[in-house]
């Protein structure tokens, strides 16, 4: 590799469809896709919760197993020990999930602190395990006024930071107080149709990637770093 002198050829790998198929294995998983839903409001009539519940119904009809985390009682990140039951519940759900749906209201032009706190409690790494890496993500928001995309744009940035595979589609529901009936069900509308689109796309991407996500997120820099760390440990053990 004379044209790339800075590349470590030992850890440089050419992506191939064969490697992808080998990673998938001969027996792809047959269990329903596991989707965790997070919402960002503690209000009694929370439109982000109602939208999240509507998404869960759609996901179940699309063949998924869903779980929703209730953020009531979750403290601010670093304001309580990690052993707190509410924190452990969230982390166990994050480890269980193969995909996620994050739904936040937009407050003062941004996602809510409730939404951010939940994500902040999910660690990037737990030992050798990355709880969110390679998992799929759909983002949605509810607006009190005209349609905005500030919250979903921020959620996308967080999804990238958490090394997730965020699907292209997204939902932003304007004047959310007009889009739900008294029983909490979403009314028929183009906004509802978009939610259907988003959930359908999330399921497809989850089915497509869940058994090959370790290969998809396998990185040259990390392979190289891991090898160097191993050599360093071996060297130290021989001193």
Residue 17, domain member (yes or no): no
69 contacts 36 by C-beta, under 8 angstroms: yes
C-alpha 194, offset from chain centre: 19
Question: CB-side exposure of 191: number of CA atoms within 13 Å?
Answer: 21
Average pLDDT over every residue of 82-98:
95
Residue 69 lies in a domain: yes
Q: Please, are residues 99 and 33 in contact by the beta-carbon 8 Å criterion?
A: yes
**Do 40 and 103 contact (CB within 8 A), yes or no?**
yes
pLDDT of residue 128: 62
23 in any annotated domain: no
pLDDT category at 42 given cuts 50, 70, 90 is: very high
Report residue 212's pLDDT band, with 50, 70 and 90 as the boundaries.
confident
pLDDT number for residue 56: 98
167: left (phi over 0), alpha (psi -120 to 50) or beta: beta
Query: Is there a domain that residue 22 lies in?
Result: no
Q: What domain range is 129 assigned to?
A: 31-237
| 19 domain-assigned | no
* Integer Cα distance of 42 and 152 in angstroms: 19
Domain with residue 127: its CATH number is: 3.40.50.360
> Is the pLDDT at 5 greater than 80, yes or no?
yes
Q: How many domains does the chain have?
A: 1
130 near 98, Cβ under 8 Å?
no
Q: Which of 101, 87, 97, 131 is nearest to 37 (CA)?
A: 101
Task: Quote the mean pLDDT of the chain.
Answer: 90
Answer for the pair 29, 211: CB distance below 8 angstroms, yes or no.
Answer: yes
Give whole-number Cα distances, 101 to 4, 42, 69, 108, 140, in Å.
40, 17, 11, 22, 8
Q: What is the pLDDT of residue 1?
A: 58
Please state whether beta strands 65-68 and 165-166 pair in parallel, antiparallel, or not at all (unpaired): unpaired
In a domain? residue 11: no
Least-confidence region, from 21-30, 66-75, 140-149, 228-237? 228-237
Report residue 213: phi and psi, to 5°.
Answer: -60, -35
Q: Has residue 230 got a pLDDT over 70?
A: no
Within a domain: residue 130? Answer: yes
Mean pLDDT along residues 190-210:
96
**Stretch 158-179: mean pLDDT, rounded?**
95
Beta bridge partners of 229: none
Task: Summarize the confidence of residues 107-119 as an average pLDDT.
Answer: 95
Q: Is residue 20 part of a domain?
A: no
Name the more confident of 113 and 232: 113
- Look up the pTM and report it: 0.88
Report whether 97 contacts 34 (CB < 8 A): yes
Q: What is the pLDDT of residues 52-63, one digit of tens each?
A: 999 999 999 999
Mean pLDDT computed over 128-156: 92
């Amino acid at each position: 590799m004379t044209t790339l002198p800075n590349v470590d050829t030992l850890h440089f790998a050419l992506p191939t469809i064969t490697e992808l198929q080998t990673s998938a294995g001969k027996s792809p998983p047959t269990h329903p896709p596991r989707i965790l839903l997070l919402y960002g409001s503690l209000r009694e009539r929370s439109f982000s919760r109602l939208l999240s519940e509507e998404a869960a119904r759609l996901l179940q009809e699309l063949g998924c197993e869903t779980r929703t985390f209730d953020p009531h009682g979750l403290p601010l990140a670093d304001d309580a020990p990690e052993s707190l039951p509410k924190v452990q519940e969230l982390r166990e759900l994050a480890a269980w999930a193969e995909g996620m749906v994050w739904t936040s209201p937009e407050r003062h032009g941004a996602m809510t602190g409730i939404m951010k706190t939940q994500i902040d409690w999910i660690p990037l790494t737990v030992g050798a395990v990355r709880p969110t890496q390679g998992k799929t993500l759909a983002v949605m928001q509810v607006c009190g006024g005209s349609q905005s995309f500030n919250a979903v744009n921020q959620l996308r940035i967080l999804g990238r930071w958490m090394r997730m595979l965020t699907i292209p589609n997204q939902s932003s529901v304007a004047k959310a107080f007009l889009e739900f009936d008294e029983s909490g069900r979403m009314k028929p509308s183009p906004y509802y149709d978009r939610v259907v689109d988003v959930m359908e796309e999330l399921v497809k991407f989850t089915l497509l990637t869940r058994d090959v996500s370790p290969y998809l997120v396998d990185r040259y820099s990390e392979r190289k770093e891991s090898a160097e760390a191993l050599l360093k440990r071996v060297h130290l053990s021989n001193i």
